[in-house]
């Protein structure tokens, strides 16, 4: 019971995190591609509740920034001008959950812009880009894991159930895929696909690459489950009654693989989100101007950005709560059932 509750708790945490990212338009004050050319590389604005005279304000406010004399990229807070935050304001249009046209934003400020995480070189709001980028990265991870698991399920089931030469062939090919370090495999597959494509095509391309490259490990796990389930008495009985292969697989064997697949999903999704981040970071994934967690960080490859604009690093930490959620989910799933033993041998998330 306690373990079931743990699983539920982690699912709730993950649900909340994903909901925030899914409703990025509402939590982000601006459009992710909107440029504020007058303030590139603006540092994160601090929210104040106490003003210069020591007076307390219930409504948080930000100070205006102005250029420091004689520089072109150094800003300082101008305590003379303060802009109180306003909540539930109407602003840039967006589509809630991808289809509902909407203009409502959680917060904003009149006569000024609020940059909670600062701005990038084009003056785009990093906080908004972080949220919208999360949509791209998380969707890539979820879709990729979906592809991997369905590939792994069908390959593993075919290999385990039919046995013989099909089993040999599939498992030898799986061995080839596992003989490559994971990231090299990803690079190798990515290398022979088109490089300069539009963002949407690039997105589906890397989802397909990530999803297809990882099929071998879940396939092996599913095969092991199918092999042991195949010999159970109730399966033999069903076959004796003349049940077709498809029926036996669907009704009796694959449900056994459910817990293995669920645990694999909890391990694969963060791994794939990270894979998308890595590819986009290196310029092989989703291109600008679309934001993703990977290409948000790619400006850090320039030494000047690394030295002068530390807040460009902040989006890297966005992944941490999601990793925590998935890690917690995976470990409480592993505690739950006999899947643990198989998992240990499979060493799910290692490579």
Partner 1 sequence: MMRYFLRRLAHAFLLIFGVSILAFLFTTLAPGNYFDEMRLNPQIAPETVAALRAQYQLDRPLPERYASWVNSLIHGEMGFSFAYNSPVAPLLLARARNTLLLTVTATVLAWGIALPLGVWSAERLGRFPDRMITWGTAALLVIPDLALALGLLVLAVRTGWFPTGGMASVDFENFSFLHKLQDLGLHTVLPILALVLSALPLLVRHVRAAVAEVLGAPFLLAAQGHGISGRTLLYRYALPAAANPLISLLGFSIGALLSGSLLIEVVMSWPGLGPFLLEAILARDLYVVIGGVLFSTIFLVAGNFLADVLLYWADPRIRTESGSR
Provide the phi-psi class of 54: left if phi over 0, else alpha when psi is between -120 and 50, else beta: left
**56-67: strand order across its sheet:** 48-50, 56-67, 75-96, 100-109
Select from 175, 200, 251, 258 the one that contacts partner 1 (CB under 8 A). Answer: 175
Scored b (16 or more CB within 10 A) or e, 41-68 reads bbbebeebeeeeeeeeeeeebbbbbeee
- In three-state secondary structure terms, 324 is helix
The nearest distance, CB 271 to partner 1, in angstroms, is 10
Taking CA atoms, 149 is separated from 198, 205, 208, in Å, by: 27, 18, 12
- Tell me if 183 contacts partner 1 by CB under 8 A: yes
Give me the least distance between CB of 277 and partner 1, in Å please. 6
Rounded Cα distance between 324 and 338, Å, is 23
4: Cβ contacts below 8 Å, ≥ 6 apart: 336
Report, in Å, the least distance between residue 257 CB and partner 1.
22
Between 49 and 306, CB nearer to partner 1: 306
Minimum distance from CB of 16 to partner 1 (Å)?
Answer: 17
Choices 12-20, 85-93, 156-164, 192-200; region in contact with partner 1 by CB under 8 A? 192-200
The reply to whether 319 sits near partner 1 by the rule CB under 8 A is yes
How would DSSP label each residue in 156-211? HHHHHHH-HHHHHHHHHHHHHHHTS-HHHHHHHHHHTS-SS--HHHHHHHHHHHHH
String marking each residue 212-241 x if it binds partner 1 according to CB under 8 A = ------------------------------
Contact status: 277 vs partner 1 (CB under 8 A): yes
> What minimum distance in Å lies between the beta carbon of 241 and partner 1?
39
**CB 235 → partner 1: shortest distance, Å?**
30
Residues 326-345 as x/- pattern, contact with partner 1 by CB under 8 A: -x----------------xx
Q: Does 27 bind partner 1 (CB under 8 A)?
A: no
Whole-number minimum distance, CB 344 to partner 1, in Å? 7
Give the residue from 194, 197, 246, 254 showing the smallest Cα distance to 229.
Answer: 254
Q: Would you say 229 or 274 has its CB closer to partner 1?
A: 274
According to CB under 8 A, which one of 74, 228, 244, 301 is a site residue for partner 1?
301
Residue 169 within binding range of partner 1, rule CB under 8 A: no
The CA distances from residue 233 to 212, 215, 253, in Å, are 35, 30, 12
Q: Find the shortest distance in angstroms from Cβ 98 to partner 1.
A: 26
C-alpha span between 31 and 42 (Å, rounded): 17
How many residues sit in the footprint of partner 1 (CB under 8 A)?
A: 49
- Asked if residues 143 and 206 have their Cβ atoms less than 8 Å apart, the reply is no
Q: Give the end-to-end CA distance of the chain in Å, rounded to a whole number.
A: 32
Q: Does residue 165 belong to the site contacting partner 1 (CB under 8 A)?
A: no
3-state DSSP assignment of residue 83? strand
Q: Which residues here bind partner 1, judged by CB under 8 A?
A: 172, 175-176, 179-185, 187-195, 270, 274, 277-278, 281-284, 294, 297, 300-301, 303, 306-307, 310, 313, 316-317, 319-320, 323-324, 327, 344-345, 347, 349-351
């Amino acid at each position: 019971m306690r373990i079931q509750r743990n699983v539920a708790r982690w699912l709730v945490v993950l649900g909340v995190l994903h909901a925030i990212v899914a409703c990025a338009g509402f939590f982000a004050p601006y459009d992710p591609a909107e440029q504020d050319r007058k303030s590139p590389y603006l540092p994160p604005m601090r929210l104040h509740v106490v003003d210069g005279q020591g007076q307390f304000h219930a409504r948080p406010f930000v100070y205006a920034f102005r250029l420091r004399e004689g520089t072109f990229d150094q800003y300082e807070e101008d305590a003379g001008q303060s802009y109180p935050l306003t909540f539930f304001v109407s602003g840039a249009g967006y589509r809630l959950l991808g289809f509902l046209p909407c203009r409502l934003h959680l917060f904003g400020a009149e006569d000024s812009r609020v940059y909670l995480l600062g701005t990038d070189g084009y003056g785009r709001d990093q906080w908004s880009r972080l949220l919208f980028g999360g949509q791209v990265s998380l969707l890539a991870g979820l879709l990729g894991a979906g592809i991997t698991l369905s590939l792994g399920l069908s390959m593993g089931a075919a290999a385990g159930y039919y046995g013989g030469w099909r089993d040999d062939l599939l498992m030898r090919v799986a061995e080839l895929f596992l003989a490559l370090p994971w990231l090299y495999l990803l690079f190798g597959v990515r290398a022979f696909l088109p490089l300069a494509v539009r963002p949407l095509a690039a997105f589906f391309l890397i989802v397909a690459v990530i999803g297809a490259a990882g099929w071998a490990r879940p396939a092996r796990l599913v095969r092991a489950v199918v092999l042991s389930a195949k010999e159970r008495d109730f399966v033999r009985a069903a076959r004796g009654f003349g049940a077709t292969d498809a029926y036996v697989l669907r009704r009796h064997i694959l449900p056994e693989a459910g817990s293995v697949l669920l645990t694999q999903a909890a391990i694969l999704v963060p791994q794939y989100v990270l894979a998308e981040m890595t590819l986009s970071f290196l310029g092989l994934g989703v291109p600008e101007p679309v934001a993703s967690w990977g290409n948000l960080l790619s400006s850090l490859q320039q030494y000047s950005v690394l030295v002068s604009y530390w807040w460009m690093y902040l989006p890297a930490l966005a992944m941490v709560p999601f990793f925590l959620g998935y890690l917690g989910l995976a470990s409480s799933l592993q505690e739950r059932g006999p899947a643990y033993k198989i998992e240990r041998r499979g060493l799910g998330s290692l490579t």
